[in-house]
Chain A
Amino acid sequence: MIRSYLAEATPSFAWRNRLGNWRTEIFAGFVGAILVIPQGITFAYLAGLQPEYGLYCAIFVTLFCSVFGTSSMMSGPNTAVAILIGTAVLPLAGRGSPVYIDFVFLLCLMVGAIQLLFWLMRGARIFQYLSPAAISGISAGAGFLIIMASLDSILDLSTFKTTFFYEKIYVIVSDARDLVNPYSLFIGLCTIAGGYIGRRFSPRYFIIIAVTTGYLSGLLVAFIWPQPVTELEYLGRMPIEWLPLHLPTINMEYLMMSTMLIPYAITIAFIGLAQSLVIVRELKMETDQDINLDKEVYAQGLANLLAPFFSSFAGAGSFNRTKANQSLGATTPFSGIASAGFVLVLITFLGPILTYMPMAAMAGTLFIVGADMIKWRDIKHYAQVRAELVIYLATFISIMFFGLATGVVVAVFLSVSVFMLRISQLELSVEPIESGVLLKVKGALFYASLAHLTEKFHSHVGKNLTIDLQFTTHIDQSAVDFFIRESRNMAAQGVRLTLLINEKQGHFLKKMGVNSDIELVAV
């Protein structure tokens, strides 16, 4: 037991033997690094932090996750996680202020610890209950939030708080002449246009085309008008260190205030793992990588737990980067490790150029990323099954109005409800036989599904009943209690209850105290 945990807790590097084509892996890592840089910067913005924290996240979370993990999944800065960090910490301190950063690190420590707890409790299975519709709904909702957040920078509004998105749209529209910065809007639109046109030519690297277009249009604007006129917001110099060690501040006051963060920590831990595991599971199905789900949970948890010690915030698996990685032929965690290294090198050399990156260009790419997360295909796909559509839409709409955290709770609640509804459905067939009535039960017999069975019992009062339990997948205590109760009633009326069971069920029923009122027939 302990040994198996220990084996999971140490990096296995089992992929070394499969590392036939290390050139492919390194190239995939290089592309991954280029893709992650704009994401790290913009997601740091979503989390309310300075851009370098996002880059550290792209370096260290990716690195730890790949070193301890078993798959070619690219972990790192993640939209939903970043948005949730922002919503969690913003009530406690001003964006990017020292206290804010302390709380973000504290929150990430909690997230990592909770995820490790999931690992210890073999929690990877839980995530199978989250329906795919819920995950798509969450992703679409996050996309919507990203679009709204990107408007701040595209229009150069200073962050103002509105409760609902339509208020924000109303304020922007009604006060456009005063609020909107035309230079910023121009750069933002150039970026978005660049992205969508670029996609025609290169569906994989269009984000890079978008960023470049935005940067060049920013240079053009800066060439004609000076900054005091345009009031453009730039990325600025990024003081990147190669080893940004940092000891998170923990003291009584912080701990007391951080109780407010616990619900968010749980939500982030959950949503982060859910996304990572969906990715990993897909990889496992589509490729022949030797993937261990529990080990992936451990890797993600440990990466997030260590993140604050390296000045970075929590992350999770990234769909788009993993896909790019896969299509470039990477099959081992080595591509992730390479990507972490390339981010460091690239930032060191690109730093001076990035200084004059307009935030509007970054926000334009954010807009594209957000718009990509709301997929028509998904809606059409889920529209075929009503329950799925309800989950998808309810999740999406509650995120639009009440934020990501509430949306996640709604998604989980609905998924579990639909799941429960489904498995509490019994398949019952009634056949008259010479001694009375034969009832065949298919499905799981437990407290939620008993009501169904009770109905059938009551419509055959006064007859001998034979229940065929051979195709019943599960019997719980309340079902046994139910049989005992009914058999007693039936005995009083002079009829008998017979159960057709298999050996295992027989053991269980005897243990639960089935008496002679019930006739047990082993088949």
Chain B
Amino acid sequence: MLAINFIRRLFLVALLISVPIAGLAQQGQPSIQQLLQEPFLDDYYSNVVYGYEIVTDTQANASRYVGNSLNCSNCHLQAGTQQEALPLNVAGMYPKWRAKNGKRNGIGLRIRECFLYSMDGIMPPEDAPEVLAISAYISYLSQGQIMGAEPEGRGVPTLPDTGYDPNPATGRAVYLEQCASCHGAQGEGVAGMPPVWGLNSYNKGAGMHDIREAAGFIWANMPLGNGKSLTHQQALDVSAYLNLQIRPSDPRDSKFLKLLEHLIN
């Protein structure tokens, strides 16, 4: 029952996507810029635009469920359109079978998890308007992708084994040299730049809290505008350094800590 609403929507989306493909093979869908100028949007496209607005400015448009000062697009770069920077054109990869709970997990759950961990907030309900809007936006981005096939540049690159353990001490040096100008010496972020640690950053349950995941992201995308300039080892080191810093606790284990954090914040 939980998924029915969502499946109905997905079905609608699939229909919307398949009609132009079947009929006018070349005709693409309107770009977000075009949609933003449109005075009237139907339910689907208005949700796409709303989803886009949430992803680019989560603080303003989905603050209900957010506990830190990040936006989705801080990690899903270019509003989720950049390859190797956690692109969001992944509707075709869901729903996914998960042995752990014996359920099929839709894109909705993935979105809700990013709210809970990456945004250190609370999990929105499955049918919250915000979640539906983001899934509409993800479906929109996924147009043209093949169902079930991994889109090119999904997630972040997996760094090859360098043979050395990540070393936070060298990481600190790299951070101060390469990153502190934007993310601040205390990782607090300066105006317009997101914090990378502290109570306003992602929590310990987030995907970014995984050293390899973060290293892949940093290697491919950071310093911003100058990606792939670090060596693999530097990326691993700095990522290990980030991981040692204070950040909100994982909502799955320390309930008491979580409560304290929320009271302080």
Binding site for B on A (CB under 8 A): 50, 92-100, 157-160, 171, 175, 178-179, 222-224, 226-228, 231, 233-234, 236-239, 251-254, 352, 355-356, 359
Contact = CB atoms under 8 A, between A and B. Distances in A.
A237 B68 CA distance: 12
Given A97-B50, A98-B46, A237-B63, A158 B123 contact: no
Interface in B100-148: 113, 116, 121-129, 132-133
A226 B251 contact: yes
A158 B125 contact: yes
User: Which DSSP category, helix, strand, loop or mixed, fits chain A's interface?
Assistant: loop
A93 B116 contact: no
A26 B63 CA distance: 33
Interface in B44-67: 46-47, 49-50, 63-66
B255 A226 contact: yes
Given A158-B1, A158-B125, A99 B255 contact: no
Contacts of B256: 223
Contact of B65 (A95, A96, A236, A252): A236
Interface stretch (B26-34, B35-43, B74-82): B35-43
Contacts of B253: 226
29 contacts: A93-B43, A93-B46, A95-B129, A96-B128, A97-B46, A97-B50, A97-B132, A98-B133, A99-B47, A100-B129, A158-B1, A158-B125, A159-B5, A160-B5, A171-B1, A175-B1, A223-B255, A223-B259, A226-B252, A226-B253, A227-B116, A233-B125, A237-B64, A251-B39, A251-B40, A254-B40, A355-B122, A355-B262, A356-B262
Contacts of A179: 1
B207 to A, nearest CB: 14
A98 B251 contact: no
Contact of A97 (B39, B40, B47): B47
Given A159-B5, A236-B124, A237-B65, A96 B252 contact: no
Nearest to A93: B43
A233 B126 CA distance: 9
Given A99-B46, A158-B2, A159-B5, A231 B40 contact: no
A94 B251 contact: no
A90 to B, nearest CB: 11
B129 A96 contact: yes
A171 B9 CA distance: 22
B4 interface: yes
A180 to B, nearest CB: 10
A179 B1 CA distance: 7
Contacts of A160: 1, 4-5
A237 B59 CA distance: 11
Contacts of A97: 43, 46-47, 50, 129, 132-133
Given A157-B1, A237-B65, A239-B63, A99 B43 contact: yes
A228 B128 contact: no
A99 B9 CA distance: 16
B252 A228 contact: yes
Nearest to A232: B123
B235 to A, nearest CB: 29
B64 A98 contact: no
Nearest to A52: B64
Contacts of B66: 237
